Structure 1
Amino acid sequence: MHSTTPDWLDRIWRGALVAEVCWLDRDGRPESMPVTPLLLDDVPCLALPYAQRNRAVALRTASEVAFTVTDARSLPSAALGVAAFGAVGVVDDLDGSVFLDKLLEQELAKYPPSRTLADSLLLRRENWWWLPRLLVRLDRVTRTRAVPARTDPTEQALLIRDDLGLRVDTVTIAGGDENRFELVSSTGDTLRGDTGPALALGHDYTAEDFERWEPWSLRGRLRGNELVVEESHGARPIPPRPLSLWERIRRRRRMEKACRGQIAAVERAFG
């Protein structure tokens, strides 16, 4: 399928280090996660490791998905962020051949931790589980929307909700407590809120090495400019200390175990 990606979106996606993917699940629950933006045959793409297989399954069944670039560090100076909405295709690259041939070089340049797993033939053999990927392509762009960039990753977030379809805004967490937060739209507009579900997602990374790239989220119901929180995850700001060697080893083992388990499950399903 040929993409209808506008040239300006292609340039932004190509130059960005970090992006987000947003969608509504079958129950209308908003979802989002930070991702590394890649291009597959000039089409905006994600290459999710099999540890994120459940997210890929959800994206496969979503009626509409948004690929967004909102982190100011991934945008030209003073530029607005962008949200591109459309249909995605999800393909199992179980042997990792497409990823190796067309995407690995991009990932190594944008996401340094991947270098410790796949920057040589020896590493690729040792960490074979890192190469199989679920490829998520934004095959058809149906609409785009400019959104203000997030200049403060600690206090600014994406607001994802169902507003007669998938809607994405950038907001500032202006104040509140653990149960209620006031949100201020980055456009200065009053948020139209109801009792529907909403998700505020933020993320930040250590710019020099991406050793820590961590999301935080507030999930609940939007009432006007107030988010009534039902769940919260992650910490903001990122803890200032670097990960210890043991923490890095444990993180890698968790990823390896999750990837191996999901790869084995797919292989059993394919027979």
Structure 2
Amino acid sequence: MATTRDFALWIRQLASTGDPRARLICFPHAGGSANFYFQFARGFSGLEVHGVQYPGRQDRRHEPFRNSIEELADEIAEFLGEWKDLPIVLLGNSMGALVAFEVARRLESMGNPPLSLFACGRVAPTLRKDQQTHLKGKDAFLREMALLGGMGHELLQDEEILDLVLPPMRADYRMAETYCAAPGTQVSVPIHVHLGRTDPKVNEAEAAQWKLSTTGEFTLDTHEGGHFFFTENGDRLTGAVSRSVEDALAAKP
């Protein structure tokens, strides 16, 4: 059984409310940390918001990277599966959407399914692009980072910062780029897909394939912005998550 200390390593509270109706669990992109969602989390009321901290970065930088999305999901689901006092909603961006999907599968099999899954900025789990970013040299890898806009220009020029962030980023890219769910792999929870109109990593047709990954409700929404659209334009996503929770709770007997 997971210990309290282990739980605190993996799951970080970002925002709380006096009487939460549900918990929103946010899964970061490749190279990202739980705190990436700190500002986003402050836009909610009525929800307790948490971010997942993957191993190998920041205060967990001395821990080994995981080898696959599935392995990462196994460990996260162990913690979340024991958390039954409030309904859970999962939200992931980019690689985090894949981790969230695999966690949703595991929570369903444990009899504790989430209310819904929000997948942002990622092609469907059954689509695997022929990308080898994790194998590129440093300069080419940094150009990929600049294209996505996940790191500021000044950080991309700071060698000390790069020495810290590049290893987990490359390890995460390897997991994401070697992952592909088998055809027919599905959950029954609703999947709500959101993406930026100028996202260089995924187009609307690729995002629409998420509908094959659920037997439940499916929605697809586009927003102004790129791969990290909700960092500057997140009000619509915040509203969509909040409405989804309210609708799901209202529908419960």
TM-score in same-fold range (> 0.5): no
TM-score by length of 1: 0.26
- Bigger radius of gyration among the two: 1
Structure that is richer in strand per residue: 1
